[in-house]
Amino acid sequence: MKLFKTVAFIGLFLISGFAGATALSSYTFEDKAEEQAFRELTAKIRCLVCQNQSLADSDAELASDLRREVYALWKEQKSEDEIVDFLVSRYGDFVLYDPPFKPSTYFLWFGPLFLLLIGAYVLSRALKSKTEDKEVELTEADQQRLKALLEDDNDNQETTK
């Protein structure tokens, strides 16, 4: 059953790819800045059919339909939030590439913060333990041993380098 569903969706996807898609090129804008802004908005929205493309890039028919809707709202001077709300109220948060900051996504935004804090904590503890200067005094005997070892090692250095 699951396989069939997958095949069905892939089939849908292929079929919708065939149908002539309206590229972004058909829309008119006041100026470059507006065009850029529209593009940026549609780049943040996820295409629901080709789920790995943004609304700006996707050739799927649903994508061009949604672009048309977004463009209509855009021309009505609706704010970006209102347009986003239009889409989210129909398709859910999934449609946004940038997850919104609301209680259900706190985990997503605070998770990294939490990780950073852990990292900072580990760093401070590691530095603290490693940088404490605990040079222990060597005894006489140890100092002699150390001297002997160093001399011995120096001889080794000369022959091997």
Partner 1 sequence: MSDPNPAEAPTETKTPGRTRYLIPLFVFLIMAGFLLKGLFMDPRHIPSVLINKPAPEFNLPTLYNPEKLISKAGMKGKVWLLNVWASWCGACRAEHQVLNEIARMGIVDIIGLDYKDEAADGKRWLAQLGNPYTEVLVDKSGRTGIDFGVYGVPESFLIDGEGVIRHKFTGPLYYPDIKEVLIPKLNEIKGEGK
Partner 2 sequence: MIPEIGHFALVLAMCLAIAQAIFPLVGTLNNTPSWAGLARPLAWGQALFLTIAFGALTYSFLVDDFSVRYVASNSNTLLPTAYKVSAVWGAHEGSLLLWAFFLGIWGAAIALLSKKLTQEVVARVLSVMGMINIGFVSFMLFTSNPFERLFRAPAEGRDLNPLLQDIGLALHPPTLYLGYVGFSVAFGFAIAALIGGRLDASWARWSRPWTTAAWVWLTLGITIGSWWAYYELGWGGWWFWDPVENASFMPWIAGTALMHSLAVTEKRGAFRSWTLMLAILAFSLCLLGTFLVRSGVLTSVHAFASDPARGMFILVFLLVVIGGSLALYAWRAPTIFSGGRFDLVSRESFLLGNNLLLTVFCFLVLFGTLAPLIYDALDWGKISVGFPWFNKMFLMLTPFLALLIGFAPLMRWKRTDPAKLMKSLRTAMIISTVIGLIAFIPAISKGSLLVPLGMFLMAWIITSHITGIRHRLQHKKGVHNLFVDLAGKGRSYYGMVLAHMGIAMFILGATMVSHHGIEKDLRMSPGETADISSYTFRFDGVTRTPGPNYMANQGKFTIFLDDKQVAVLEPQKRTYMAQGGRPMTEAAIDWGLTRDLYVSLGESLGGGDWSMRLYYKPYVRWIWLGGLAMALGGILCISDRRYRTAKRKNKQPAQTDASNTLATENS
Residue in 33, 46, 31 with CA at minimum distance from that of residue 84: 46
Partner from partner 2, partner 1, none binding residue 20, C-beta < 5-8 Å depending on class? partner 2
57 near partner 1, rule: CB under 8 A: no
CB 55 within 8 A of CB 46: yes
Residue that is written with structure tokens 């800045």 in the block: 33
Looking at the Cβ atoms of 31 and 98, the one nearer to partner 2 is 98
CA 22 to chain centre: 29
Among 15, 108, 117, 149, binds partner 1 (CB under 8 A): 15
Looking at the Cβ atoms of 82 and 93, the one nearer to partner 2 is 93
Partner from partner 1, partner 2, none binding residue 98, C-beta < 5-8 Å depending on class? partner 2
Range list of β-strands (E), 3-153: none
Residue that is written with structure tokens 């008119």 in the block: 28
> Restricting to residues 116-135, which ones interact with partner 2 according to CB under 8 A?
116, 118-119, 122-123, 126-127, 130-134
Count the residues of the shown chain that bind partner 2, applying the rule CB under 8 A: 50
Looking at the Cβ atoms of 80 and 105, the one nearer to partner 2 is 105
Looking at the Cβ atoms of 24 and 88, the one nearer to partner 1 is 88
51 near partner 1, rule: CB under 8 A: yes
Range list of β-strands (E), the chain: none
CB 83 within 8 A of CB 73: yes
Looking at the Cβ atoms of 76 and 135, the one nearer to partner 2 is 135
For residue 21, CA distances in Å to 14, 17, 68, 101, 103 come to: 13, 8, 11, 33, 37
143 near partner 2, rule: CB under 8 A: no
Q: What is the DSSP letter of 64?
A: H
Among 38, 59, 61, 83, binds partner 1 (CB under 8 A): 61
